[in-house]
Chain A
């Protein structure tokens, strides 16, 4: 930030006086219109809508808590909410759990010049279409999918098993597949900065390898872990496509409820459910606010 002080000092005094605030802050203007008008304002409208009512397909400006009351009065909705939290928790844990040994391997055992290409290789699937990555699992898990064909070929079963698809385990599997790269990337960037001599020192002093990892490495990369949790958990809790494509009726998540409400033109109820998602996101951000350094998460 010391940079910003230099030009002020170097710029001729005369110019500084005449440069209006517009030149200094005008760059924000388009972004303020776009993100203010089409991001913050709509979110505000959603908040208001969640306290209004729909009567005969018209939104009536009548303040009420009915939308929330309605949601919590239907057992299926409430259980979907809990299941969504469960799925998000399990998928996040699995993503990070799978990514940690990978990031550890990449930063400890891989020669330096190979690290960047191997890391890029992890990120490549991330840049192919999100929809297609979900879809590709249909060809594996589906009734005529690769897995069933393989099992039939092995003679394990003669009839295709419908078990793999259209339920919660399939949703968790695909979510882990989708968000693993993010977890791996975030964990790697913090493990990479770790000084491995500390681990060796701990083991010289009698710590077991696992003990040394748990007590020396993990505490030091905690900010990275928190960032990974946040950036994996948040998109998952608002997932719509994955449960829609591979989840069937058993895998329904809260995002599907939102879409159903909006498609049924029940805007106010949909708004209330969206706000529940936003509330969970906000809660997570508040709990972890100290460890959250957004620029770091994006390498900025």
Chain B
């Protein structure tokens, strides 16, 4: 393992260097396209590509001033907010019986819950299109898109929250019961705070997934547009620097949300303290 570093044969050192160089290339491959996109968003040339003819912020100004983008942004945020609310509530509720109830086919049910992630999004989109327009005769709207996206984002919340619930020390709840807390108080003051990191992470995840979702929304949103759909209609005609600017802003937004999700382990420290407390409590009960 880590001890390998330092005690390698000549051939081993060669392999390490070759693989390190390879890994570097992989990182270049992963980041170059996005880096170029950002680079070109500051380029004065109106073709959105090389050569660099000067640096400018005008594409950002025109993107920020574009009313179509305003509308798309408003719809996108509305949809993402509703999707986040739906998936957090539905996902968290489902995580409890999934982990805590006696279930005969727990693994089967678990796989059933993540099926919407495993199946291509295209199928979710077209099948809901048929349900809404063919069977229910509902007008397509941002709300139908919310339903479609929630089908796809909720499983992520279920996975996150149920993983957290699995590692949850039930002794904490019993300790609270010993101290006189009723079911509701235990849920509100013990279980919920401990699950919060997973719930918030799930919410952030659902929000970013919704922000970027294209194919399901494309089928279900009707005449309205979200940012991904706006970008899609623009790039049908090639690269435009304005889309580059919009894209760069979206990438920055995604990374910010991601950073927030990664900052969560900080908040989780409180729950580790609680786990230690739970252990201590059990030890105290064991010794008369």
Contacts and interface: CB of A to CB of B under 8 A. Distances in A.
Given A24-B101, A30-B93, A112-B1, A177 B214 contact: no
Contact of B20 (A35, A105, A131): A105
Contact of A196 (B1, B32, B96, B114): B1
Interface stretch (B48-56, B57-65, B67-75): B48-56
A75 interface: no
How many of chain B's residues touch chain A, expressed as a range?
A: 35 or more
A144 interface: yes
Interface in B110-126: 110-116, 118-124, 126
Given A132-B231, A144-B47, A30 B214 contact: no
A298 B118 CA distance: 11
Contacts of B238: 138, 142
A127 B33 contact: no
Interface of A: 1, 3-4, 6-7, 10, 24-31, 34-35, 38-39, 41-43, 45-46, 49, 59, 98, 101-102, 104-106, 108-109, 111-112, 118, 120-122, 124-125, 127-133, 135-140, 142, 144-146, 149, 177, 180-181, 196, 209, 230-231, 234-235, 237-241, 245, 255, 258-259, 262, 267, 270-271, 274, 277-278, 281, 285, 294-295, 298-300
Nearest to B144: A38
A239 B214 CA distance: 12
Interface in B236-269: 238-239, 243-244, 247, 250-251, 254-255, 258, 262
Given A1-B106, A31-B91, A109-B5, 10 more contacts: A28-B94, A45-B134, A132-B212, A136-B33, A140-B36, A144-B49, A145-B49, A177-B30, A181-B30, A234-B120
A39 B154 CA distance: 12
A281 B119 contact: yes
B154 A4 contact: no
Contacts of A35: 112-113, 116, 151, 154-155
Contacts of B124: 39, 42
Contact of B154 (A31, A112, A131): A31
Contacts of A181: 30
Given A138-B239, A149-B50, A196-B4, A41 B131 contact: yes
The 4 closest A-B pairs by CB, nearest first: A238-B120, A42-B127, A136-B33, A31-B94
A130 B31 contact: no
B163 interface: yes
A161 to B, nearest CB: 15
Nearest to B154: A34
A103 to B, nearest CB: 10
B232 A131 contact: yes
A139 B97 contact: no
A118 B30 CA distance: 12
Contact of B22 (A31, A101, A118, A138): A101
Interface stretch (B11-19, B189-197, B270-278): B11-19
Interface centre among A6, A38, A108, A122 (most CB of B within 10 A): A38
B5 A111 contact: yes
